[in-house]
Amino acid sequence: MEKSLNWREFVVTRAIKASGYSAIVFVLLIFVFLMREGLPALSEVDAGNLFSLRWYPIEDLFGILPLITGSLIVTFGAALIAVPFGIGTAIYISEIAPRWMREILKPLVELLGGLPSVVLGFLGILIVSPNLRILLDLPTGLTAFTGSLLLGGIAVPTVVSVAEDALDSVPRAYREGAWALGATKWQTIWRVTLPAAKSGVLTAIMLGVGRAIGETMTVMMVTGNAPVLATSLGSLFSPVRTMTATIAAEMGEVANGSVHYHTLFLIGIILFLISLTVNVIASSVVFRAKKRAERILS
Amino acid sequence: MVVIMTDKIIIENLSLQYSDGAESLRGISMGIPQNAVTVLFGPAGGGKSTLLRCLNRLNDLTDIKTSSGRILIDGENILDPKTDVIALRRKVGMVFARPVPLPMSIRENITYGLELAGEKNRIKLDEAVERSLKLAAIWDEVKDRLNDPAVALSGGQQQRVCLARVLALQPEIILLDEPTSGLDPISTGKVEAALQELKKNYTIILVPHSIQQAARTADHAAFFLQGELIEYDEGKTMFTTPKQKKTEDYIMGRFG
């Protein structure tokens, strides 16, 4: 009896350990694979071509700048929408809404987060973009702005649920302290609750941005997919093409091992680096906050 | 009920019940005199904190099922829905059981309330910082590091900063909810000494964290048991010759 228990214990702990380590292995494998398939592009395509302004693989024009700026401008627009809206919603849910409202809103927001992005893209094509075209008097409704609107919608649930958790974990005593000093509800939120939840709110923003930058389906459906360099904020209202959409659209038709194929993987590497940077910044913010808390508590 | 003019606060037949039925007050009537320390004591769950939190309407933000009765401060019923709660909270300051310095520097903790009240004059703010920190007996310990975060102070220091923060607003009434429960005896002594000094100018209502503290500090004492006011008398009388059997039993340590 004793012995079989020990044996089971051994198997279970090892199995759990293995699944824990597998996460590291998978990330490493993906990274190695990306590098192996993507790095050759750097030698096959000369720098002048790679940093040119035209992405036209059929004629061996592999300028990735329009794609990068496309991704950035769509993500930037999405952040402009998702951050204020998401944090506002989080503040409402956590600080202002009565209990019954909170109990309806929280699951609703989480449900919204689980909405397949292709459904949103569908709504974007059928409803958002035609209306936007008429409303703003544009030649086409399939623009970076349309993508930003929808991506903002996708990022909002992420921002809301992480920021709401952060606000919720601020001790009630902080708020009562401020109220007892004669602070109004809004003054308490702005000067006490938000600063106290700062690291969590920043993480929420980062995760929301990360979510937006990696999103593929929706942007492919609504941004028009024209690889034109976005030079100013005015480009928000013209069609763009993002890195993710390029990979998704072209990977299926590319010849395995060709220059085009390698370049698509290079774009994948760039995406990987961007989301890695965002994540590292996010966790370093959290880490710094934690260290400060530890110093204070000791 | 006869209104006695020296009473700063008059509580008339105050009843209250929380939605979760946790703690409640039943028909409390008492007058709280000016320039004295009035102690509310009794076992946990007796309604002491609830009563305190009624006095600055902090209970507005909790789920309350029913409440009735009146609380008159300077003759005005503060439970009236038309009361300016923000102004009330400036007049009735509160110090909590756990020191909660706001996530700012020591100086900002003191000036925050004043800035909310619209004070912008830097010289006046600096004066208020020094005056209130001195009143709370912590000036000497923090005067050289006013810009450090307040959370970096020790528990006892934090609590006195919280007291100073309340004093900076120059309230008329100070509510203290077990202000020394987390403090060492030396810090406790400092806070108690500060209270004796402060009562010359303020009306102080204290929920002590022990009977000994109640006996040490009380000019007037009220014994609460399960939401009812059992006995209310001068501190000296209460702790030497209590009239009610329940009070005597509690003070003698037979229950609680």
**What tens digit of pLDDT does each residue of B89-102 get?**
989 999 888 888 88
pLDDT interval class at A292 (50, 70, 90): low
Kindly state the average pLDDT of the residues B108-119.
86
pLDDT interval class at A298 (50, 70, 90): very low
**A294: nearest CA partner in chain B:** B152
How high is the pLDDT of residue B180?
A: 85
Q: Where are the alpha helices (DSSP H) in B17-84?
A: 48-55
Q: In the predicted model, is pLDDT for residue A294 greater than 60?
A: no
**Contacts A97 to B, Cβ<8 Å:** none
pLDDT above 90 coverage of chain A, percent: 24
Q: In the predicted model, is pLDDT for residue B206 greater than 80?
A: yes
Give the gap in angstroms from C-alpha B96 to the nearest C-alpha of chain A.
Answer: 8
Average model confidence (pLDDT) for chain B? 86
Interface check for B1 against chain A (CB to CB < 8 A): the answer is no
Token pair of A261 as six digits: 């194929």
Answer whether A296's CB lies under 8 Å from A216's CB.
Answer: no
Predicted ipTM of the assembly:
0.77
B96·A183 Cβ contact <8 A: no
Cα separation, B228 vs A81, whole angstroms:
54
Can you list the positions of beta strands (E) in chain A?
A: 55-56, 61-62
How high is the pLDDT of residue B23?
A: 65
Cα separation, A216 vs A223, whole angstroms:
11
Long-range Cβ contacts of A294-297 (<8 Å, 24+ apart) = A295/B152, A296/B149, A296/B151, A296/B152
Q: In the predicted model, is pLDDT for residue B150 greater than 50?
A: yes
How high is the pLDDT of residue B67?
A: 80
CA atoms within 13 A of residue B180's CA, in its CB half-sphere: 22
Strand partners, B95: B176
**What tens digit of pLDDT does each residue of B156-205 get?**
888 888 889 988 888 999 999 988 887 788 888 888 888 888 888 899 99
pLDDT interval class at B1 (50, 70, 90): very low
How high is the pLDDT of residue B39?
A: 93
Kindly state the average pLDDT of the residues B109-134.
88
Cα separation, A175 vs B76, whole angstroms:
27
Answer whether A227's CB lies under 8 Å from A67's CB.
Answer: yes
pLDDT above 70 coverage of chain B, percent: 96
Euclidean distance between the first and the last CA atom of chain A, given in angstroms as a whole number = 46
Instruction: State the Cα torsion B107-B108-B110-B114 to the nearest 10°.
Output: 130
**Contacts A173 to B, Cβ<8 Å:** 96, 98, 100
**What tens digit of pLDDT does each residue of A148-174 get?**
999 998 899 999 999 999 999 888 888
Q: Which residues of B129-139 are buried (b: 16+ CB within 10 A; e: fewer)?
A: bebbbebbbbb
**Contacts B87 to A, Cβ<8 Å:** 182
A183·B149 Cβ contact <8 A: no
Cα A104 to chain centroid distance, Å, stands at 25
Interface check for B98 against chain A (CB to CB < 8 A): the answer is yes
**What tens digit of pLDDT does each residue of B6-50 get?**
788 999 988 888 877 666 888 889 999 999 999 999 888 888 888
The CB density around residue B47, as the number of other CB atoms within 10 Å, is 23
What is residue B226's DSSP assignment? T
Q: Give the max Cα distance, chain B.
A: 56
The CB density around residue A234, as the number of other CB atoms within 10 Å, is 8
Of B61, B87, B165, the CB nearest to A179: B61
Residue B54: Cβ-neighbour burial (10 angstroms; 0-12, 13-18, 19+): buried
Q: Which residues of A172-182 are buried (b: 16+ CB within 10 A; e: fewer)?
A: eebbbbbbbbb
B102·A174 Cβ contact <8 A: yes
B98·A187 Cβ contact <8 A: no
**A186: nearest CA partner in chain B:** B116
How high is the pLDDT of residue A290?
A: 60
A179·B151 Cβ contact <8 A: no
Strands B7-18 and B173-177: unpaired
Architecture of the structural domain at A42-297: Orthogonal Bundle (1.10)
**Contacts A196 to B, Cβ<8 Å:** 103
How high is the pLDDT of residue A297?
A: 46
- The lowest-confidence range among A261-265, A278-282, B244-248 is A278-282
How high is the pLDDT of residue B4?
A: 47
Per the model's pLDDT, the better-predicted residue between B129 and A137 turns out to be B129
**What tens digit of pLDDT does each residue of B68-84 get?**
888 999 888 988 888 88
Q: In the predicted model, is pLDDT for residue B121 greater than 70?
A: yes
- Domains in chain B, start-ordered, CATH in brackets? 7-100+172-251 (3.40.50.300)
* B-contacting residues in A 87-106 (Cβ below 8 Å): 99
Q: Which of B20, B86, B102, B177 to mutate to test the interface with A (most CBs of A within 10 A)?
A: B102
Q: In the predicted model, is pLDDT for residue B2 greater than 50?
A: no
Strand partners, B41: B223
Residue B180: Cβ-neighbour burial (10 angstroms; 0-12, 13-18, 19+): buried
Average model confidence (pLDDT) for chain A? 86
Of B87, B98, B116, the CB nearest to A181: B116
Token pair of A79 as six digits: 């952040």
How high is the pLDDT of residue A213?
A: 86
**Contacts A182 to B, Cβ<8 Å:** 86-87, 89-90, 113, 116-117, 169
Interface check for A174 against chain B (CB to CB < 8 A): the answer is yes
Per the model's pLDDT, the better-predicted residue between B41 and B3 turns out to be B41
Cα separation, B226 vs B42, whole angstroms:
9
pLDDT interval class at A289 (50, 70, 90): low
Instruction: State the Cα torsion B251-B254-B255-B256 to the nearest 10°.
Output: 40
Q: In the predicted model, is pLDDT for residue A278 greater than 80?
A: yes
Q: In the predicted model, is pLDDT for residue A82 greater than 90?
A: yes
Give the gap in angstroms from C-alpha A188 to the nearest C-alpha of chain B.
Answer: 10
CA atoms within 13 A of residue B223's CA, in its CB half-sphere: 21
A192·B103 Cβ contact <8 A: yes
